[in-house]
Amino acid sequence: MSGMASQKYDEIVIHEDDPAHVLRHPTKPVNQIEWDDIKYITQRLMDVRQNILKGGAGLAAPQIGSSLPVFIYTPDRTTEGLKVVINPSFEPIGEEMIEGEEACFSVPLKSSKIKRWAKIKVQYLNLDGKTVNDVLEGFAAKVFQHEIDHLNGKLTIDHEKAEIISFETPEAFQAHMQQVHQEDSKSY
Ligand SMILES: [Zn+2]
């Protein structure tokens, strides 16, 4: 099983072991940062996802110890579909919300049931510094909102109304998340 938050990784900051509080700190605004730093951290995110985590729907800079406003995510779960998102913002379209379970590499062995906007309008910069506008729904909207939370210093377990499910073993966690993925692919 790959790309699962069922264990701890040296490269990933986790919530119980974050002495610099990088996970709970909002990231810096993009006008105060160097583009070379953005490119470096983007490459690190790609490398860690590919070679250490072996997958995953998204990964944000604070999770690898950086306070830059950058994340990568894949709207369709494929590596080919990965997008680099810099300095993002979003607003909901309509009022519909979907409740779903979310795991996170920074919160190992836990799943959190959270309500997210079903459809959102997003804006961000890509690696060329160009503004991207997009409309996201379902799985892609859920992942984008999860990752933007990271840039705002917020974890799944910090959501006031989150229902948190904890697992004793990686096996139990993986079996549960596999079921969640199957249900997700039915509803999204
Ligand atoms: Zn996360």
Token digits of residue 125: 């910069």
Distance 161 CA to ligand 1 centre (A): 17
- Position 56 in a domain: yes
Distance 7 CA to ligand 1 centre (A): 14
Report whether pLDDT(2) > 70.
no
CA distance 22 to 154: 10
> Which residue, chain included where needed, has tokens 């959190």?
112
CA distance 110 to 155: 12
- Position 6 in a domain: no
Token digits of residue 20: 């610099």
Question: Are the beta carbons of 104 and 156 closer than 8 angstroms?
Answer: yes
Which CA distances in Å does 128 have to 17, 123, 131, 174?
34, 14, 9, 37
- Position 58 in a domain: yes
- CATH code: domain of residue 152: 3.90.45.10
- For CA atoms 63, 66, 67, 72, the dihedral sign is negative
Question: Are the beta carbons of 156 and 102 closer than 8 angstroms?
Answer: yes
| 85-108 tens-digit pLDDT | 999 999 999 999 999 999 999 999
The number of domains in the chain is 1
Report whether pLDDT(73) > 80.
yes
Token digits of residue 53: 């985590």
Could you tell me which of 72, 55, 68, 60 has the C-alpha nearest to residue 1?
55
- Position 129 in a domain: yes
Distance 130 CA to ligand 1 centre (A): 25
The predicted structure's pLDDT at residue 176: 94
- Position 7 in a domain: no
- Position 74 in a domain: yes
Question: Are the beta carbons of 8 and 53 closer than 8 angstroms?
Answer: no
* Collapsed DSSP state (helix, strand, coil) of residue 132: strand
Using pLDDT thresholds of 50, 70 and 90, give the confidence band for residue 3.
Answer: low
Percent of the chain, pLDDT > 90? 85
Report whether pLDDT(42) > 70.
yes
Question: Are the beta carbons of 91 and 120 closer than 8 angstroms?
Answer: yes
Domain of 180, in residue numbers: 30-187
| 5-28 tens-digit pLDDT | 778 899 999 999 999 999 999 998
Distance 18 CA to ligand 1 centre (A): 14
* Collapsed DSSP state (helix, strand, coil) of residue 87: strand
Report whether pLDDT(185) > 80.
no
* 102 backbone dihedrals φ, ψ, rounded to 5°: -135, 130
- Position 70 in a domain: yes
CA distance 40 to 44: 6
Distance 147 CA to ligand 1 centre (A): 6
| 138-152 tens-digit pLDDT | 999 999 999 999 999
Distance 59 CA to ligand 1 centre (A): 7
- Position 4 in a domain: no
Least confident of 86-90, 114-118, 177-181: 177-181
Catalytic site positions: 147
**Sheet containing strand 131-137, strands side by side:** 58-60, 70-73, 83-92, 119-125, 131-137
